[in-house]
Structure 1
Amino acid sequence: MLIPLGHEQTSVRRLPWVTFTIMALCLVIFILMAPDEHRSEMDSFLRLQQSLGYFTQHPYLKMEPRFRSIFVNELGEDQAVVFTEHMRRAGPAKPEDPAQLQYEQDRFDTIVAGYFESIDSSLLSRFGLVPASFKASHLVSYQFLHAGWLHLIFNLLMLFVVGPFVEDVWGRPLYAAFYLAAGAAAGAMFAVRYPDLQMPLVGASGAIAGVMGAFLVRYLKSKIRFLVWLGVPIGPFAAPAWIIFPMWFAIQLFSAQSLEQHLPEGGGVAFWAHVWGFLFGVVFAAVMAQLKVEQRYLHRAIESKVTMLDNTVVDQAVGQARAGDLHGAVAALEAELAAHPENVDAAIALWNMCTANGDASRAGPAMAKVIENAVRSGDTQLIIAHWDDILVHHPDIAIEPLLAVRIAEILDGEQRVVSAVETLELGHSRTSEKTPMPVLLRMAKLALLLEAPNAGGIVQTALNHHELPADARPELEVALWGLARQASDREMARQASIGKSEEPLAAIEGGDRSLYVTDSVPMSLDGHTLTVDVAGILQQIDLHTLQAVAVGIVAREQAKSVAVMDLLLDPPGAGSDLVRSFRIFGDTFDPRAFFPGDDQLTAFRAMAVHVLD
């Protein structure tokens, strides 16, 4: 069982009142119904026991179709047949007197009728969707009824995870209509599949499955956090919606088909309602996306309600500024934003006034909020229209790393690579130990894709994170090594252009193996972490990961001998096509900065001992 916990979308533009209202209605209705439903359930259970007990004593009697369907639903088709046949062989013989047989049959039918009267008088049966006695109004009412606490809790938990975000981008009226329509479609298709079923269908899961389908289309790449329940919780894990929701759908489809083999007449968990609800949501959202309904009609309508614009306040502030009262205009806009921080027009007007006055940082927080809301709602045009201006006038604007990554991805999609790189650097400057690992990994991969000048530093930040997945480390390490090689190649070309022959990188090939040696200069040593400079790029080497170390003295013609140390990242023996080595020359730095010694050679020897330790 998958238990949703949340996803990387953490806020919406306004309170999701429709979702909260649905959740509240389901909870309140369940609490109000619980006492009567409990009494009804106990009464039905006792009457069922009485009916089954009488049949056990008179196994030759005939079951009416509805009771037999319940009997089969409880035991399964095969077990019901085996049980009935066993009771008829082992139980009392059928009476020979027709009058006695008719009396017993009438008595059994009366007991069963009392059982059905108890069931039919329950609130779940009166307002749930019963396919055999179909009522159109129950396509709506059944969505707010639940059969137990677990049924209710799991439904509301999933609705809370996905509902507010679909409501945020579609608006309250359309979302409410869609939710009810998804539930109605799921219920209707369930009734079509089992037209003779006399058990009530209850629960919001059909409608919620529709919201899940819409979320999948609208937030395809958003990562869902969830637990796996296998008797004990396992996780949490995170996976994109395009993985987790299709997997959930496949489980529902498989379960529906499996259950149908045991209960061909219907009953049990309504997996088919989940399947049809999900498909309804996917198709509806796909049509919305294809027709661009959200961009053409919904976004501006929602924004006009979200911002609650007081155009009079904005217009008056602009008039004040034109009249020369810039201070009063800025104060008026700041007061408006304090009351309505989501007012886009006020924020943009404040930004324009502050940038014209050379005080862009004053309007920075308001514009950061505008951009954040635009990213969340998918308003790329607003981002494109204002972000470059923000980078020019307020290049150190405070934005969270995740927001920086999402803005950079949007800019990259619009072929604004330079702005995307600047934005990525801005986000990287605000990373810390608390920055989530997925954000750093996403940032590193985008930096490599954009060939950002500081891609090495961004990748190194991800590598330093203690939660970096083991399967992601080799990819980043190879990428970092490639960046170092590129830097060395550039340095080699620069040296060649000014007539120098020193080569910071050497490649030696032998047989089917290659040795890549990169000249490096130690910059700092912190425990077992050595930071080296490779052609202007700082790289950190975890000394515990070294596969081999070579130390020696190299004689030079007409020059003083020099100590050399090779730090091999790959095993020098068989098993690897590539052997990478950082080479450190003793005359390129002063080892006494790291280890005491009367001379450089003694300190270099102490450093070698530390590395080998």
Structure 2
Amino acid sequence: MLIIPAENAVNWKRPPLVTLGLMLACLLVFLFYQGGDSRKIEQAVEQYLSQDLQELEAPVYEDYLQRQIQFRGEEERVYDLQEFQQLREENAEFWVAISLMMDREFYHYLLENRDIHWAPAERAYWLEHRTAIEQEFISQLSAQQLGLVPADLKPYTLITYQFLHGGWGHIIGNLLFLFLLGFTVEKALGPGRFLMAYLLCGAISGLVFTAFSSGSPLPLVGASGSISGLMGMYVAIYGLQKIRFFFFLGVYFNYFRAPALAMLPVWLGKEIYDYWFAGATGVAYMAHAGGLVAGAGLVWLFGRSWLHVREEFFEPEESEQDARFTTSYAQAMASLGRMEFDLARRQFEALRQHYPDRPILLKHLYQLAKLRPDLPEYRDRTRELMEDALSRRQPEQMVEVWEEYLGKGEHHQPLAAEDHNRVLFTSLKQQNFKAAEKAFERLRATGDELLTSEACRLLVSEFEKRQMEPKARHYRQLLT
């Protein structure tokens, strides 16, 4: 059974860059760093078989498996024993060698019990050649170099093991879940804190695995502990809020809604149950459990400080925002239709607070303010609309708004010298000399001598460039 949260959709306008970067890092490590492992293993097998080490180890391995079954109750090893015996009967020497060399617990068993199984000459021969293979090939494998080995824990491997994987199925599955969970948690925490929390969950997951596998020589690799941390963070962020979950059971799949935190004990209980009863599946169940607890714990402990959720995370998605805008906009337009102008003004102002990037709202507020050209609000809305038109690279609209204000509101609430100066510069860029000269006259009337003289020099320069000498001479005379 598979249950994963599926509350959000990806916003590709703001892509989850850290999540995608982590996925790319795992893939590059797998392809270009771990890609050399197969060649090392082939060389190790070649040397192992050439020295007939399988003749020494194979009988001991069968005895070792039988002891595991009889005295340690590891019934799942019955299948390992049967498979190994079948490989020997079929003379599948390559896979026999792989089974013997890659069982790290068996290798350590041989080191501790070689005096029991072999005569002195055989022991010396085995130790010399097997040690050479270990040092030259096996110890150079990626899992041995950067994987997390509980029997030989190195601090840096708490991070590096998160970027290694055991095969294509392993990495594809992990990358899929990393994406499905990562983009939501990254959106909630922000890129920097998300990366720190992700790596920290992986490190804690590795420590939990080490605690439950103390002394084991088997290396842990994979991002599943970190991804379990994302699952814990995901549900802790939403708390008791009901969210959508996707589940897959056999061939049936569907969605259901439930309080987010309700799934944490379900996931945790499943990992602990599998740890005790699923047998030797090769899955690091306690690493998963440690990641879940770490992720949820970090949000609970630091959710009000460095790991707080960004406010915009809980804002509705664009589709929902559009639906809300459409409803509220229709209500404001209905107020306009009933000529309830004060109510309509309040409704448009409220809409603009929530949707400041929608220019249509400013235009409506401008038209409402124009009903009373004697009030300062009309001048203020005019300035806003002029600035908005300029920011949207619509100079013609800016000049139109300015000219309209000159006819309706200038004699009530005059514009400032800076407003006319901005229109002058914009008009000259558009080669609208008529509007530029008109703006100069308005600027001159404000009495701002500094801006007036600078504007006059600019007009002289522009007219001289275009060989319009009468105009240039006129403005030179104004300067003197």
- Calculate the TM-score normalised by the size of structure 1: 0.41
Larger Rg belongs to? 2
Q: Which amino acid aligns with 2:198?
A: Y
Query: What is the Cα deviation at residue 176 of structure 1?
Result: 0.9
Alignment correspondent of 1:225: 246
Helix, strand or coil at the partner of 2:382:
coil
> Which residue, out of 152, 166, 172, partners 1:133?
152
Alignment correspondent of 1:7: 6
Query: What is the Cα deviation at residue 235 of structure 1?
Result: 1.8
> Which residue, out of 386, 389, 394, partners 1:328?
386
> Which residue, out of 125, 129, 138, partners 1:119?
138
Superposition pairs of residues 467-486 of structure 1, within 5 angstroms: none
Alignment correspondent of 1:108: 126
Q: Which amino acid aligns with 1:227?
A: F
The one-character-per-residue Cα deviations of 1:582-605 (angstroms, maximum 9, x if unpaired) are: xxxxxxxxxxxxxxxxxxxxxxxx
Superposition pairs of residues 232-243 of structure 1, within 5 angstroms: 233-240=251-258, 241-243=260-262
Mapped contact 2:62–2:81 kept (Cα < 8 A): no
Superposition pairs of residues 235-314 of structure 1, within 5 angstroms: 235-240=253-258, 241-258=260-277, 268-289=282-303, 294=308, 298-299=310-311
Superposition pairs of residues 295-374 of structure 1, within 5 angstroms: 298-299=310-311, 322=380, 324-332=382-390
Superposition pairs of residues 396-545 of structure 1, within 5 angstroms: none
Q: Decide which moves more: 107-116 or 145-154.
A: 107-116
Helix, strand or coil at the partner of 1:274:
helix
Change (3 A) 1:234 1:45: farther
Alignment correspondent of 2:350: none
Point out which structure has higher relative CO (alpha carbons under 8 A, 6+ apart).
Answer: 2
Structure 1 vs Structure 2 CA RMSD: 4.5
Q: Which amino acid aligns with 2:56?
A: Y
Instruction: Find the aligned partners of 1:35 and 1:300 in 2 and give their Cα distance.
Output: 41
Change (3 A) 1:137 1:249: same
Alignment correspondent of 2:332: none
Q: Is 1:55 the counterpart of 2:57 in the alignment? A: yes
The one-character-per-residue Cα deviations of 1:556-611 (angstroms, maximum 9, x if unpaired) are: xxxxxxxxxxxxxxxxxxxxxxxxxxxxxxxxxxxxxxxxxxxxxxxxxxxxxxxx
Instruction: Find the aligned partners of 1:149 and 1:43 in 2 and give their Cα distance.
Output: 22
Alignment correspondent of 2:170: 151
Instruction: Find the aligned partners of 2:221 and 2:61 in 1 and give their Cα distance.
Output: 33
Q: Decide which moves more: 46-55 or 24-33.
A: 46-55
Instruction: Find the aligned partners of 1:288 and 1:79 in 2 and give their Cα distance.
Output: 42
Mapped contact 1:321–1:329 kept (Cα < 8 A): no
Q: Which amino acid aligns with 1:105?
A: R
Instruction: Find the aligned partners of 1:22 and 1:60 in 2 and give their Cα distance.
Output: 42
Mapped contact 1:320–1:329 kept (Cα < 8 A): no
Instruction: Find the aligned partners of 2:268 and 2:47 in 1 and give their Cα distance.
Output: 38
Query: What is the Cα deviation at residue 210 of structure 1?
Result: 0.7
The one-character-per-residue Cα deviations of 1:365-400 (angstroms, maximum 9, x if unpaired) are: xxxxxxxxxxxxxxxxxxxxxxxxxxxxxxxxxxxx
Q: Which amino acid aligns with 1:224?
A: F
Query: What is the Cα deviation at residue 112 of structure 1?
Result: 4.0
Superposition pairs of residues 201-220 of structure 1, within 5 angstroms: 201-220=220-239
Change (3 A) 1:321 1:332: farther
Instruction: Find the aligned partners of 2:18 and 2:147 in 1 and give their Cα distance.
Output: 22
The one-character-per-residue Cα deviations of 1:136-156 (angstroms, maximum 9, x if unpaired) are: 111111111111111111111
Instruction: Find the aligned partners of 1:301 and 1:235 in 2 and give their Cα distance.
Output: 28
Q: Which has the higher helix share?
A: 2
Structure 1: unaligned runs, 5 residues or longer: 88-97, 304-308, 311-317, 337-613
The one-character-per-residue Cα deviations of 1:409-428 (angstroms, maximum 9, x if unpaired) are: xxxxxxxxxxxxxxxxxxxx
Change (3 A) 1:172 1:45: same
The one-character-per-residue Cα deviations of 1:256-301 (angstroms, maximum 9, x if unpaired) are: 2225xx56xxx92211111101100011112234669636xx5489
Q: Which has the higher strand share?
A: 1
Superposition pairs of residues 16-55 of structure 1, within 5 angstroms: 16-43=16-43, 51-55=53-57
Mapped contact 2:231–2:292 kept (Cα < 8 A): yes
Taking only the aligned residue pairs, the percentage that are identical comes to 26
Instruction: Find the aligned partners of 1:151 and 1:131 in 2 and give their Cα distance.
Output: 21
Instruction: Find the aligned partners of 2:45 and 2:379 in 1 and give their Cα distance.
Output: 77
Q: Which amino acid aligns with 1:225?
A: F
Instruction: Find the aligned partners of 1:60 and 1:176 in 2 and give their Cα distance.
Output: 46
Mapped contact 2:139–2:145 kept (Cα < 8 A): yes
Instruction: Find the aligned partners of 2:44 and 2:255 in 1 and give their Cα distance.
Output: 42
Mapped contact 2:235–2:264 kept (Cα < 8 A): yes
The one-character-per-residue Cα deviations of 1:10-51 (angstroms, maximum 9, x if unpaired) are: 144732111111011001111113431222344556678865
Instruction: Find the aligned partners of 1:320 and 1:132 in 2 and give their Cα distance.
Output: 77
Aligned length: 295
Helix, strand or coil at the partner of 1:222:
strand
Mapped contact 1:171–1:302 kept (Cα < 8 A): no
Q: Which amino acid aligns with 1:18?
A: V
Superposition pairs of residues 68-87 of structure 1, within 5 angstroms: 77=74
Mapped contact 1:140–1:180 kept (Cα < 8 A): yes
Mapped contact 2:193–2:307 kept (Cα < 8 A): no
Helix, strand or coil at the partner of 1:235:
strand
Helix, strand or coil at the partner of 1:201:
coil
